[in-house]
């Protein structure tokens, strides 16, 4: 059942409300049969093809609607392992009594949440959850939602509530904001971890259910404006604390005690003074193993909620002390003036209990055996009887466990509850104890069944009665469907001035010992006129019988008044306030407890407190949109996939499923006032005349348009509102007639919708169609706005790009012009400077050279060809002495008189390189003398004609004046002149 194809309806599988069901069909025959004969014939005709009964996923399709046909459909679906069925506005859930993991997996949750129309899927608890969640998103009044899960004990209410919480923790906690992801995960985990703790301390294994809730809880899942889960709060009602000290036959205590015994380590057992094999009186049926006996899961949940190890140690120590206290027994004293004796085998258990509760053993023993009576300002100690000692022992255990449970609830709320400023709406999940009827029923069962009566009355008042009365007042043609109204039973239990609760409170406030027979006589005298109460006068045990909506229950009167008083001896409170256990001390020293004891409010009875808390719950439910889920228990033995029709029929009749189906099949579950209807769906009439293409081009005026601007929403002008609604409905009917996917009946245009006097009545399918049309038009408008915005953005980007291009072109041209001008100015400066230096060097060169006319060129002897071929050098033969001047950067040699030196080029090169630091590149036929500082721009070497040789070394004023303008040029410099002369 995890694929979408398996969940979708085939053909006309929608919930069509009144348009889908024809009611009772009367066939035309020659004779006129009676109504019973006709009905039996229709039932037989309907049940002829039983192989197709499992396909009826909505019981409003059953024709005719009778307990027999409804039962047959449910049994057929249960056999093929289909456990959810729609019954109009109610979801019927059959307990399979075995795990079905694929039915509640994470993928299934995401599939239902992402579906555009979850109602098209097969019935599931997730559809109810998603419908409530979308109501919050759509802000349909009332925005807050309540999921009411009802049914007998063992029908699966706790499991259903757990699935609902898991669904919302998965769906409503999904956030794409990275910075808040850790916060969301923490909230989700804490909300889910509150479940195992509450079930461990508040649930127990009973004859009818292995995980029966022994308290009621209403969980508010708090959502912010983005419909994300930001917190939760838990409200509890009437914990069955008597189970701690008194367990019914063949039933167990609360789960937490068995979890401790089965999951504790040897070290923990030693700390709790509970060795293996020890028998504990308050721990019956310890050998029975149930799925909920998981100590590790409870401890892990405590850690996630923030309960540290020290606080856990104190908490489990208190629980272990209560179990030890249960083994303390008393024996009657021979002297009435002396307190009762504690049995010898109980002394050790009393000592252990005192140590675990961190109170003195002597004071504990005294508080259990002696009571303090106050006479004015004086106190008198009076020994207690054996029964009173046992009662005080049980009272100590009950009040301690009740305070511990309240502390846990408060701690959980402080851990998971969000600040009021951070959340605006909530979805409530109500899980209360189911209707109970045991062999012996007392005050606890009376309160539990009273709560179920209140919930049934809420369902009757909200749906069965209120809807039919509203149909008549709004002008719909309607014939009333009879239903079972339990208001008379509620008047019997809680009515004023005389009821069971008022008489019980009156007897509890009397300062005298209660008498069961006297209280029975009082009930018979005051309530004999009520048909919902009766008595068995021949019974030896005083009791009274109440006819509830789910059946008759006998309540035992013995002990009921005492339980209603719920007295707590003050000396027990004083003892617990002195406890060395900080947790126990804190629980009994809070301001609320102190005020309770000082002001004498302990006389507030159990039924008064429970009635007040239940009224506050009903007030919350009346202010929310309810969603009903009826859990059905297929068999009393909790066997997997076992269907017993007697058991199911009784539950169907008790909760009014057949009447609900009748009203849902013929009625309109959705009711919207005119103003709200026009405000939400008026845009369908306004934009339905625009084709999609035209709507794209028309979107220019959407930025300042209000969908409700053309309608007058004044509530006083009802005629105008009625006319506008009629126009809108005509447009809707035309659109439906043009929709090929709808099987629209033109002869009955209002089969799915009806216009009343002040409200529009819709079927669920009609509401889904309107929401689909509204979403389609809004999508078109949003698409048009996006197109206009994108076009505007593109034009703006194009204009900006064009402007930027023009600016960049102007800037680049200006930069180029400025650079070229700088280059021109630099070239001019370089040219002028070069010309100046060239002219100056030319002038210097001319000044250095003597006039050619003054020089007498001497005959230079011709070199020997052999010597010339070998590269030898012949020096000058001038007679005058030759002046040789040398500079550090170069050296020139002049020939001395009558000195002739001939040597090879290689030897000459070595000599010159060594002595004169000159470079002579050796290449055959070419010899060129350059200074080492040639690359540094050496000055010219010039020789005077008269025999003297002057070496001039000057650096050019230009940095690169000695560089050739062309790399391929052989010129070595612009200012260097080499004289090649053979002397």
Compute and round to an integer the Cα radius of gyration of the chain: 53
Residue 95: closest CA among 157, 31, 17? 157
HSE-CB at 421 with a 13 A cutoff on CA atoms is: 0
154 catalytic residue (yes or no): yes
Beta strands in 525-659 (DSSP E): 533-534, 543-548, 551-556, 625-632
Residue 792: CB atoms within 10 Å: 10
| Catalytic choice (42, 130, 388, 436) | 436
Token pair recorded at residue 955: 């650096």
Residue 635: closest CA among 644, 646, 626, 622? 644
Residue 572: closest CA among 386, 391, 395? 395
63 catalytic residue (yes or no): no
| Catalytic choice (195, 209, 415, 605) | 209
User: How would you classify the pairing of strands 229-237 and 670-673?
Assistant: unpaired
| Catalytic choice (216, 317, 434, 756) | 434
Token pair recorded at residue 3: 């694929």
Token pair recorded at residue 305: 């909620």
605 catalytic residue (yes or no): no
213 catalytic residue (yes or no): yes
* β-bridge partners, 92: 85, 630
* β-bridge partners, 254: 204
188 catalytic residue (yes or no): no
Angle among Cα 797, 801, 806 to the nearest 5 degrees reads 150
Q: How far is CA 859 from the centre of its chain?
A: 117
Q: Using H for helix, E for strand and C for coil, what is the string for 431-490?
A: ECCCCCCCCCCCHHHHHHHHHHHHHHHHHHHHHHHHHHHHHHHCCCCCCCCCCCCCHHHH
| Catalytic choice (17, 19, 154, 756) | 154
Residue 550: closest CA among 445, 467, 623? 445
Alpha-carbon distance 191 to 683, whole Å?
40
Binding-site residue numbers are: 151-158
678, 711, 714, 743, 789 from 706: Cα distances, Å = 12, 10, 16, 33, 18
Answer yes or no: are the C-beta atoms of 710 and 748 closer than 8 Å.
no
801's CB contacts (< 8 A; 6+ apart) are: none
Alpha-carbon distance 963 to 960, whole Å?
6
Token pair recorded at residue 309: 């190890």
Phi, psi of 536, deg, nearest 5: -100, 100
653 catalytic residue (yes or no): no
Answer yes or no: are the C-beta atoms of 459 and 466 closer than 8 Å.
no
Binding-site residue numbers for ATP are: 151-158
| Catalytic choice (60, 95, 195, 213) | 213
Q: What is the dihedral of CA 887, 889, 894, 896, to 10 degrees?
A: 60
Q: What's the DSSP call for residue 52?
A: G
Alpha-carbon distance 686 to 699, whole Å?
13
| Catalytic choice (90, 212, 581, 664) | 212
| Catalytic choice (153, 236, 442, 579) | 153
Alpha-carbon distance 694 to 783, whole Å?
12
| Catalytic choice (63, 158, 508, 895) | 158
Alpha-carbon distance 146 to 132, whole Å?
8
Helices vs strands, H then E, count in the chain: 32, 25
Q: What's the DSSP call for residue 282?
A: T
User: How would you classify the pairing of strands 543-548 and 551-556?
Assistant: antiparallel
**What length is written for the chain?**
983
Beta strands in 782-932 (DSSP E): 886-887, 890-891, 918-919, 930-931
424's CB contacts (< 8 A; 6+ apart) are: 223, 224, 225
Answer yes or no: are the C-beta atoms of 252 and 281 closer than 8 Å.
no
Element (H, E) at 916: none
Q: Which residues are catalytic, by number?
A: 153-154, 158, 209, 212-213, 434, 436
């Amino acid at each position: 059942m995890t694929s979408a194809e398996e969940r979708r309806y085939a053909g006309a599988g929608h919930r069509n409300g009144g348009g889908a069901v024809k009611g009772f069909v009367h066939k035309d025959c020659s004779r006129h049969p009676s109504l019973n004969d006709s009905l039996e014939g229709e039932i037989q005709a309907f049940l002829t093809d039983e192989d197709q009964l499992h396909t009826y996923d909505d019981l409003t399709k059953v024709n005719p609607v009778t307990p027999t046909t409804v039962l047959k459909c449910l049994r057929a679906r249960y056999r093929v392992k289909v456990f959810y069925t729609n019954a109009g506005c109610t979801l019927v859930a059959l307990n399979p009594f075995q795990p079905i993991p694929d039915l509640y997996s994470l993928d299934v949750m995401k599939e239902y949440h992402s579906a555009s129309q979850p109602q098209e899927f097969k019935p599931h608890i997730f559809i109810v959850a998603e419908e409530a969640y979308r109501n919050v998103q759509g802000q349909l009044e009332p925005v807050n939602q309540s999921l009411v899960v009802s049914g007998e004990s063992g029908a699966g209410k706790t499991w259903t509530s757990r699935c609902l919480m898991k669904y919302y923790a998965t769906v409503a906690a999904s956030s794409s904001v990275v910075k808040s992801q850790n916060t969301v995960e923490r909230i989700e985990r804490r909300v889910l971890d509150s479940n195992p703790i509450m079930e461990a301390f508040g649930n127990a294994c009973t004859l009818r259910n292995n995980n029966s809730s022994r308290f009621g809880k209403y969980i508010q899942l708090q959502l912010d404006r983005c419909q994300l889960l930001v917190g939760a709060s838990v409200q509890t009602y009437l914990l069955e604390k008597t189970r701690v000290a008194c367990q019914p036959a063949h039933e167990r205590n609360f789960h937490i005690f068995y979890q401790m015994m089965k999951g504790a380590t040897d070290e923990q057992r030693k700390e709790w003074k509970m060795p293996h094999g020890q028998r504990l009186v308050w721990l019956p049926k310890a050998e029975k193993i149930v799925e909920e006996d998981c100590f590790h899961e409870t401890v892990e949940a405590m850690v996630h909620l923030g309960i540290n190890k020290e606080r856990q140690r104190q908490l489990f120590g208190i629980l272990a002390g209560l179990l030890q206290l249960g083994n303390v027994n008393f024996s009657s004293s021979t002297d009435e003036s002396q307190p009762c004796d504690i049995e010898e085998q109980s002394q050790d258990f009393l000592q252990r209990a005192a140590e675990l509760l961190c109170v003195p053993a002597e004071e504990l023993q005294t508080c259990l055996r002696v009571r303090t009576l106050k006479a004015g300002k004086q106190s008198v100690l009076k020994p207690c009887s054996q029964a009173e000692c046992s009662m005080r022992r049980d009272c100590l255990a009950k009040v301690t466990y009740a305070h511990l449970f309240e502390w846990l609830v408060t701690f959980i709320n402080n851990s998971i509850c969000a600040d009021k400023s951070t959340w605006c709406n909530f979805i409530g999940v109500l899980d209360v104890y189911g209707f109970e009827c045991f062999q012996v029923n007392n005050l606890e069962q009376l309160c539990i069944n009273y709560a179920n009566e209140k919930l049934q009355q809420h369902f009757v008042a909200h749906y069965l009665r209120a809807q039919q009365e509203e149909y008549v007042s709004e002008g719909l043609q309607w014939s009333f469907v009879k239903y079972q109204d339990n208001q008379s039973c509620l008047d019997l239990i809680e009515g004023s001035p005389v009821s069971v609760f008022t008489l019980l409170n009156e007897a509890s406030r009397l300062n005298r010992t209660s008498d069961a027979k006297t209280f029975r006589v009082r009930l018979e005298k005051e309530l004999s006129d009520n048909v919902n109460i009766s008595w068995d006068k021949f019974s030896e045990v005083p009791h009274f019988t109440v006819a509830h909506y789910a059946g008759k229950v006998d309540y035992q009167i013995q002990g009921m008044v005492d339980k209603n008083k719920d007295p707590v001896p003050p000396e027990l409170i004083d003892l617990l306030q002195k406890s060395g256990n900080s947790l126990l001390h804190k629980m009994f020293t809070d301001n609320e407890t102190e005020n309770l004891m000082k002001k004498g409010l302990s006389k507030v009875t159990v039924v008064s407190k429970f009635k007040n808390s239940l009224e506050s719950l009903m007030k919350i439910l009346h202010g929310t949109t309810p969603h009903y889920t009826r859990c059905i228990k297929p068999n009393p033995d909790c066997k997997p996939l076992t269907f017993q029709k007697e058991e199911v029929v009784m539950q169907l009749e008790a909760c009014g499923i057949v009447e609900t189906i009748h009203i849902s099949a013929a009625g309109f579950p959705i009711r919207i006032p005119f103003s709200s209807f026009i405000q939400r769906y008026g845009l369908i009439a306004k934009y339905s005349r625009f084709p999609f293409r035209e709507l794209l081009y028309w979107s220019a005026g959407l930025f300042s348009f209000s969908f409700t601007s053309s309608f007058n929403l004044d509530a006083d002008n009802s005629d105008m509102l009625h006319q506008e609604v009629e126009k809108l409905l005509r447009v809707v009917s035309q659109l439906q007639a043009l929709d090929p996917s709808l099987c629209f009946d033109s002869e009955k245009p209002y089969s799915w919708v009806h216009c009343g006097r002040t409200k529009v009545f819709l079927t669920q399918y009609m509401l889904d169609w309107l929401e689909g049309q509204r979403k389609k038009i809004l999508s078109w408008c949003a698409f048009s706005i996006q197109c206009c915005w994108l076009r505007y953005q593109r034009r703006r980007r194009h204009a900006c790009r064009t402007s930027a291009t023009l600016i960049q072109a102007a800037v680049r041209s200006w930069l180029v012009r400025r650079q070229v001008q700088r280059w021109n100015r630099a070239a001019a400066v370089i040219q002028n400077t070069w010309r100046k230096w060239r002219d100056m060097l030319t002038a210097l060169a001319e000044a250095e050279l003597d006039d050619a006319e003054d020089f007498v060129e001497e005959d230079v002897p011709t070199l020997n060809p052999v010597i010339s071929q070998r590269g030898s050098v012949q020096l000058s033969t001038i007679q005058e002495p030759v002046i040789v001047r040398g500079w550090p950067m170069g050296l020139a040699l002049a020939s001395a008189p009558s000195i002739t030196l001939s040597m090879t080029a290689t030897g000459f090169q070595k000599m010159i390189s060594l002595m004169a630091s000159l470079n002579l590149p050796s290449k055959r036929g070419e010899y060129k003398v350059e200074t080492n500082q040639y690359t540094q721009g050496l000055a010219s070497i010039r020789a005077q004609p008269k025999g003297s040789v002057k070496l001039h070394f000057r650096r050019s004023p230009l940095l690169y004046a000695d560089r050739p303008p062309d790399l391929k040029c052989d010129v070595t410099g612009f200012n260097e002149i080499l004289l090649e002369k053979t002397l």
